[in-house]
Amino acid sequence: MASRVEKYLAHLDRLSGGREPRFFPVESTKQGLRGVTEIVYDDLPDGLLTALTYGLSLAEHPDWQHGSPELCLSVSSTNVIWAHAVGHLAEQLRGTCPFGYGSTINFGERIVAESEMKAFCVFAPLVLDRKDCLGIDVGVPGHDGHDSINIQGIYPIHEVERQFINERGLEAFWKSDWEPTDVLRRPAV
């Protein structure tokens, strides 16, 4: 019988065509919760570093009524620090941040040295179809109710963009002229 994490990883294996990811553990600071794992695919899809989390969904949040989130970042970079930043946020903010569409997160400093971006926003994942990221069944025998994961996209943004989203909404920002994977771009607003 497959465990919860094994079911999730099998789903990612199907999506990646069996590509072997790198795994980076993030130690838990939450009593009673296991750590978060960063699952990193290099050059998948072509030219992008794609990182997903596992462990955010182990927490509980009142907004998570139809599944719990894991995060997916895809950026035009080879710098694994992007993945580490997302793993850190997932571990630190699980249970307190809903990670719903339109959520913004102030990282508080440059995420990586070569980029001026200091924040993130959450929306649908850029590299996954809707059917591949919503309602992933990871339930195991003995678990009460339905246990599903929804993979949420997380996008690095500039601080001025985070403020714009908070004031005018994600839709207004999303329609602006920007490239979601470009971590060296100028602010779009």
Predicted local distance difference test score (pLDDT) of residue 1? 73
* Integer Cα distance of 188 and 108 in angstroms: 20
pLDDT at position 42, please? 97
Q: What stretches of 41-169 show up as alpha helix (H) in DSSP?
A: 81-93, 130-133, 159-168
Distances (CA, A) of 24 to 41, 83, 85, 90, 112: 11, 9, 12, 13, 17
Supply the pLDDT for residue 145: 57
Over residues 102-124, the pLDDT tens digits come to: 999 999 999 999 999 999 999 99
Task: Output Rg (C-alpha) for the chain, integer angstroms.
Answer: 16
pLDDT tens profile 18-35: 999 999 999 999 999 999
The pLDDT of residue 2 is 84
Say yes or no to pLDDT of 139 above 70: yes
- 77 with 59: CB under 8 angstroms? no
Amino acid at 45: P
> Is cis: bond before 62, omega within 30 of 0?
no
pLDDT greater than 60 at residue 8? yes
pTM for the model: 0.95
| Long-range contacts formed by 101-105: CB under 8 A, 24+ apart | 101/152, 101/170, 102/165, 102/169, 102/170, 104/157, 104/162, 104/165, 104/166, 105/162
Instruction: Tell me what pLDDT residue 77 has.
Output: 97
Q: Which residues pair with 154 in a beta bridge?
A: 122
pLDDT digit string (tens) for 92-103?
999 999 999 999
Percent pLDDT > 90 in the chain is 94
Whether 68 contacts 95, CB under 8 Å: no
| Over residues 167-171, mean pLDDT | 96
Q: What are the phi and psi torsion angles at 138 (to 5°)?
A: -120, 15
